[in-house]
Structure 1
Amino acid sequence: MSSELFNQQLLKYIGNSPTPFHAVRNLRELLDDAGFQSLPEEDAWELKKGGRYYITRNGSSIIAFVMGQIPVEESGIRMVGAHTDSPCLRVKPKPELNRQGYFQLGVEVYGGALLNPWFDRDLSIAGRVIVDNGEGKLCQGLIDLQRPVAVIPSLAIHLDRDANNERKVNPQTDIPPVLFKDAKKDIKDFREVLSEALSHTSTSLAGKKIVDYELYFYDCQQPAITGWRDEFISSARLDNLLSCFTGLKALLESGDRQTTMLICNDHEEVGSVSACGANGPMLQSLLERLYPQPERLTRIIRRSLMVSADNAHGVHPNYADRHDGNHGPILNAGPVLKINANQRYATNGVTSAIFRQLCEKADVPLQVFVNRTDLGCGSTIGPITAAMLGVQTLDVGVPTFAMHSIREMAGSEDAHNLYRALTEFYSYEGSLLVEDI
């Protein structure tokens, strides 16, 4: 697949996935189209060699896997991990604010968001809504208003002369979005506003009593190929829907000889501690269900490898001093091995060597990122999964600018190169163990 076609599909996927719920729904549709079978966790399963399956949890995490033809005790499992969530603004349970005659919504900041870029954007709302179907039964569905319904206006420079020198954002008082004028203060419950909006849509939620919701604001601006020479991708949620989609496309190309798995967890941006997060039981319970004999599972895990795919910090030309001089990844120069001596990333010499060899085999350029020693380092699901399962793990990602902004930037060649590397990894029939000499 050409990089141009790959990027078209990538940007379409990200644009249609404003929340983790939508991201998983869209992954499910692609898996269904490819012949994968959904396995409800509450049901009994009958699996077969060569079978292609997936499970979901909370509607926001998904694990897809192929039961390979090669005995898994010989091959191990080729795993790729990513996450479906991104920093954003989440609507509070009782969000109604009416100030100076304007109706606003109180929001919580989800994850480590850069807040300044959220000002003066055309914002919409998407997420999950739980309704009473009229017979006392609770049902859930997804909504996406798909149009600008709110703005967080900046304070004019005339009223804040120091804004360009030291603009601090108070997340409680400065960022409630403005939705409309409500001079008479008639609106007491946001559910009324939401119900009215749903009544003008074709969704099956229309006309139902809204019991609860999980809703998020997002930027209406669509993903785009940008740059004078079309060298870049600009989009919300590149961290980390880019890796979710890239891992999926690689999985679909890998065939059924190897046992392969794609894990896309929610809640990475807030620590991964949840029923469907990487620091929860979802992956381990699946593996124990597939391979219930402890000794057998230990042998399989020992021959397996997890590639944690999460975006890396590209060296910013205006702030190059924030990088180690020998480890500044460049956009469109290939995916990035992420290394940290304090185990914020799970890469070690062995897993690094394996991935280097795979990239060389696939003719994919590879870079290395190490944080400046005097700066703190972020982390990923890689160390969490390695600690939970004891599986050898490495961290890799696409170099990115403006990580955790409302709009991030990556190279237009890098996601395709990561896809090629992950396809090689999924299909590789050699051993993933490095022998002693």
Structure 2
Amino acid sequence: MANSLSLNDFNAGLMQFLQASPTPFHATRNLANRLLAAGFIPLYEGDSWQLEVGKRYLVTRNDSSIIAFVYGKSPLVDKGIRMLGAHTDSPCLKVKPRAELNRRGYFQLGVEVYGGALLAPWYDRDLSMAGRVSYRNQEGEVASVLLDFSRAVAIIPSLAIHLDREANSGRSINAQKDIVPLVLQLAAEDLPLPDFRSLLHAELQQQFPDLAVEQVLDYEISFYDTQGPTFVGLEQDFIASARLDNLLSCFIGLESILQAGDEVSSLLICTDHEEVGSASCCGAKGPMLQQFLERLLPEVDTRVRVIERSMMISADNAHGIHPNFMDKHDENHGPLLNRGPVIKVNANQRYATTSETSALFRLFCEKAGVPVQAFVARTDMGCGSTIGPVVASEVGVKTIDVGCPTFAMHSIRELAGTKDGWWLYQAGVEFYNYAKAPIALVTLPG
């Protein structure tokens, strides 16, 4: 199928998606809306399913994970399923259940660090809040709604260098007391604290006046940087944004599966909680993908045969070689921004890449005219991991770990090249439309 997105169109859509997706809940809703607009049929896990060849489906779980499926005309047992996976979550600061603090008349909200966040960049940023709010309606039922304050409502001021002369050489950050966002100054120090749930209730009434919110019961609210994504550089070579890890890969997967033909079956899965280990009902270590495949293929023997003929691309950002810290990379494996997607390899299975899946991905890139790079961490340093090893071990599907090279991974503001996402998208389109059967290599004896 022809690739329909130009580089400029791809990046414009990416920036809109990043701006509109401050939390995994919002990212999943935006993914679902795009798929629905393209004719994908919504499925509900509590219903009975009767999937039909030639149709396209989507299903969500916990409002923060999603599967999109194109049921191709070729028998699954002949050609398998082309799968691409990413994750919807990013490191952030999450508001605690009893968050209200009064410190010398300054109203602050206690936070918990989600994932392996770089904390220093959170200082002196204009912060907003977004997430999911669960409430009781006027009928006594529990319902949920996505909320985004969409304006600067908090800040974490730095301590002046005059009060810490060693700030530039050795300041440490205590996650309990040093990164508490400031949201309001009280008229007097001894005034009662505002109730955060009441503040959420008032914001809901303002944004959704027709919503019958009787009482806010609970919430999953995160802080995020209000500064939007932008092009950076004299020649606009880079994209700076929050949540590039890993909404960039989610967007690549979305645009790729929208270009998938109807010859072979294709699947996109974007799951929550990767940054904290994926161990949840909607994480990659949970049963979401396995249960989908079981409902699609109830008979065990057939399902195993289909999985053997399938392949998963685990898409998650890679560490580009930083020009100020080049010694942090293996001298032969320092990916450059704007030089193509990166194949990630690790001998200790932190990445799921094998020689076979790497060879196949190189083939897809070659067919699409896409340059490709490789990343291996320094032998004396550890590396991160992805959903790749999780899916490979839980489902048994052959898997490769790839991603776009980036700087400042897990910062509140990350940096990527303007070309790499578009190139990985082109490779994804080639992968989803690869019609040879099965996706496997013949291993000769001897």
Normalising by the residue count of structure 1, what TM-score does the alignment of the two structures yield?
A: 0.99
Instruction: Tell me which residue corresponds to 1:152.
Output: 156
Q: Is contact 2:136–2:213 with CA below 8 Å preserved after alignment?
A: no
Structure 2 SS opposite 1:375: coil
Pair 1:220 & 2:211 matched: no
More off after superposition, 379-388 vs 130-139: 130-139
Structure 1 SS opposite 2:112: strand
Pair 1:321 & 2:327 matched: yes
TM-superposed CA distance for 1:103, in Å, is: 0.3
Instruction: Tell me which residue corresponds to 1:75.
Output: 79
Instruction: Tell me which residue corresponds to 1:363.
Output: 369
Tell me the distance in 2 between the aligned counterparts of 1:267 and 1:436. 37
Instruction: Tell me which residue corresponds to 2:273.
Output: 267
Tell me the distance in 2 between the aligned counterparts of 1:107 and 1:167. 20
**Which segments of 5 or more consecutive residues in structure 1 lack a partner in the other structure?**
none
Pair 1:32 & 2:32 matched: no
Tell me the distance in 2 between the aligned counterparts of 1:117 and 1:188. 28
Tell me the distance in 1 between the aligned counterparts of 2:276 and 2:321. 25
TM-superposed CA distance for 1:134, in Å, is: 1.8
Instruction: Tell me which residue corresponds to 2:433.
Output: 427
Instruction: Tell me which residue corresponds to 1:379.
Output: 385
Instruction: Return closer, same or farther for 1:349/1:204 CA change in 2, 3 Å cut-off.
Output: farther
Structure 1 SS opposite 2:29: helix
TM-superposed CA distance for 1:192, in Å, is: 1.9
Tell me the distance in 2 between the aligned counterparts of 1:256 and 1:426. 10
Letter in structure 2 aligned against 1:356: R
Q: Is contact 1:152–1:177 with CA below 8 Å preserved after alignment?
A: yes
Q: State which of 118, 121, 130 in structure 2 corresponds to 1:117.
A: 121
Q: Is contact 2:252–2:421 with CA below 8 Å preserved after alignment?
A: yes
Q: State which of 337, 362, 365 in structure 1 corresponds to 2:343.
A: 337
Letter in structure 2 aligned against 1:283: L
Tell me the distance in 1 between the aligned counterparts of 2:342 and 2:210. 44
Instruction: Return closer, same or farther for 1:15/1:204 CA change in 2, 3 Å cut-off.
Output: farther
Q: Is contact 2:249–2:315 with CA below 8 Å preserved after alignment?
A: yes
Tell me the distance in 1 between the aligned counterparts of 2:106 and 2:218. 24
Tell me the distance in 2 between the aligned counterparts of 1:188 and 1:206. 22
Tell me the distance in 1 between the aligned counterparts of 2:367 and 2:310. 19
Pair 1:93 & 2:100 matched: no
Q: Is contact 1:348–1:394 with CA below 8 Å preserved after alignment?
A: yes
Pair 1:55 & 2:59 matched: yes
Letter in structure 2 aligned against 1:40: Y
Instruction: Tell me which residue corresponds to 2:112.
Output: 108
TM-superposed CA distance for 1:207, in Å, is: 4.9
Structure 1 SS opposite 2:58: strand
Instruction: Return closer, same or farther for 1:204/1:173 CA change in 2, 3 Å cut-off.
Output: farther
Tell me the distance in 2 between the aligned counterparts of 1:51 and 1:36. 8
Tell me the distance in 2 between the aligned counterparts of 1:352 and 1:360. 12
Tell me the distance in 2 between the aligned counterparts of 1:154 and 1:267. 29
Structure 1 SS opposite 2:258: helix
Percent identity reads: 59
Q: State which of 41, 45, 66 in structure 1 corresponds to 2:45.
A: 41
TM-superposed CA distance for 1:202, in Å, is: 3.2
Normalising by the residue count of structure 2, what TM-score does the alignment of the two structures yield?
A: 0.97
Instruction: Tell me which residue corresponds to 1:395.
Output: 401
TM-superposed CA distance for 1:217, in Å, is: 0.2
Instruction: Tell me which residue corresponds to 1:408.
Output: 414
Structure 2 SS opposite 1:165: helix
Letter in structure 2 aligned against 1:434: L
Tell me the distance in 2 between the aligned counterparts of 1:137 and 1:181. 35
Structure 1 SS opposite 2:168: coil
Q: Is contact 1:301–1:391 with CA below 8 Å preserved after alignment?
A: yes
Tell me the distance in 1 between the aligned counterparts of 2:414 and 2:373. 20
Tell me the distance in 1 between the aligned counterparts of 2:21 and 2:134. 19
Letter in structure 2 aligned against 1:218: Y
TM-superposed CA distance for 1:199, in Å, is: 3.1
TM-superposed CA distance for 1:5, in Å, is: 0.8
Q: Is contact 1:198–1:206 with CA below 8 Å preserved after alignment?
A: no
